[in-house]
Copies of this chain bind each other. A is one copy, B any other.
Amino acid sequence: MAEARATLGLDLHLEPAGPGLRRGLTDALREAVRGGRLAPGTRLPSSRALAADLGIARNTVADAYADLVAEGWLTARQGSGTRVADRAVPPPPGPRPGSRHREPARPAHNLVPGTPDLASFPRGAWLRAARRALAAAPNDALGYGDPRGRVELRTALAGYLARVRGVRTDPDRIVVVNGFAQALKLLAEVLHARGTRTLAVESYGLDTHWDIARRAGLATVPLPHDGLGARTERLADAPAVLLNPSHQFPLGGALRRERRVAAVDWARRTGGLILEDDYDGEFRYDRQPVGALQDLDPDRVVYLGTASKSLAPGLRLGWMVLPPSLLPEVLDHGGARSVGVLDQLTLAEFLTSGAYDRHVRSARLRYRRRRDTLVAAVAERAPRVRVRGIAAGLHAVLELPEGTEASVVGAAAWQRLAVTGLSRYRHPDAAAEPLDGLVVGFGTPPDHAWAGALDALCRVLP
């Protein structure tokens, strides 16, 4: 029953619609009945039990049940509890074309990792840079142009990446892309065309990335993993590996020096290729700088960066720094002219004018404060929970007592707190034992919503 409830909670989490917890719960239950997931006659848990499990007030559940009894979806009988009504289920209205792709309704609190604080996007500075960039652009810039992207941006990036991330490159080897997903898709296609059929990945990561590789014909094989990160000394069979050396997603650590060296040694020995996903390298909070792995061997490492965390995902701006040998194949596979020149020129202006540095500095301060309040609040209100992976980035991992992750995630869903469990990121073929944890994106909420989100989080922690 606990399992059924957790599943119910997770399913409902997909559609946490409507303003207010009671209405959201009512809507979600109605949908579950209407859609047939809760069959006629199914007995629901008591309002007391469900409320306790999900960390919400019993009255909220009781009210939702009462609403649905009144509507005829549920029946409540003395001695028999609350059940799904045994009535003809009306056919669901036909979905509008494409409706399965609509954006999900917004949760009350959003701590899903992956998005920076969008309210702090520097709109004014960006528009000013756009105006300067467009005024300075030659007419030719508006044409098809260089397949790698505008030279102004590639030049600005080469300087910036060398200074801030220790990347060794010149503008010729940079290709501007519309995000990490496009870059990974292209690289997977190039590897497939070279005969590669597998890609080593870390045990924890994003299934969207594994899907991209799979669709390009590469099976993903998880590397063994321990407390120090991916065991790169076990790289052997796969001809290529995808790594987060600076800040593992989601676990949060940096790949240690000896494991970096092991990865590069492997690549040199076997002719292997390392794809370095440096998605949030700008945000480090401790004194120890962690540079790009690419620095160890620019001919064996593809460096992949993005403005999605430092500025905003909506810009769709990313970049690849390629070994020269890979460049022609990447361009042949369509890795060309995928980003609007106005955004490219604006980012170039943003980088060279110093506006980018200013924005990153202020964002770093803001995120660091949030991280500090997160650590302090968890230490005070949930002392059984350990916070990991906090030296960098926009997310932290909250280690949970064994076996509690599903119920905590379910409870969060009922509170309309969007947060993801660590198991969501575990590769299905990973050998290591599953870890119980929450991945908390502390960059996501706007400033005014951070305290409320943190409070909602602490309420669901064991």
Q: Which residues of A contact B (CB under 8 A)?
A: 96-103, 114-115, 118-119, 121, 123, 126-127, 130-131, 134-135, 139-148, 170, 172-173, 178-179, 181-182, 185, 189, 212, 215, 312-317, 324, 327-328, 331-334, 337-343, 446
A111 to chain B, nearest CB (A): 14
Complex CA gap A119/B215 in Å reads 41
Q: Contact: B334 with A316, CB < 8 Å?
A: no
Complex CA gap A148/B96 in Å reads 15
- Given A139-B446, A143-B312, A101–B328 Cβ distance below 8 Å? yes
| Other-chain residue from B99, B121, B189, B316 in contact with A340 (beta carbon distance below 8 A) | B316
Complex contacts, A142 vs chain B, CB 8 Å: 118, 121, 312-315
Beyond known contacts A101-B146, A101-B331, A127-B130: 8 more, CB 8 A cutoff: A97-B172, A98-B324, A99-B172, A143-B314, A181-B334, A215-B332, A316-B337, A317-B340
Q: Contact: B339 with A316, CB < 8 Å?
A: yes
Q: Contact: A143 with B127, CB < 8 Å?
A: no
Complex CA gap A333/B126 in Å reads 31
Complex contacts, A141 vs chain B, CB 8 Å: 314
Complex contacts, A331 vs chain B, CB 8 Å: 101
Chain B, residue nearest A141 (CB): B314
Q: Contact: A338 with B101, CB < 8 Å?
A: no
Cross-chain pairs A/B with CB under 8 angstroms, 24 sampled: A98-B172, A99-B172, A100-B328, A101-B146, A101-B328, A101-B331, A103-B146, A115-B143, A126-B134, A126-B342, A127-B131, A139-B446, A142-B314, A142-B315, A144-B313, A145-B313, A145-B314, A178-B178, A178-B338, A179-B337, A182-B334, A314-B342, A315-B342, A316-B338
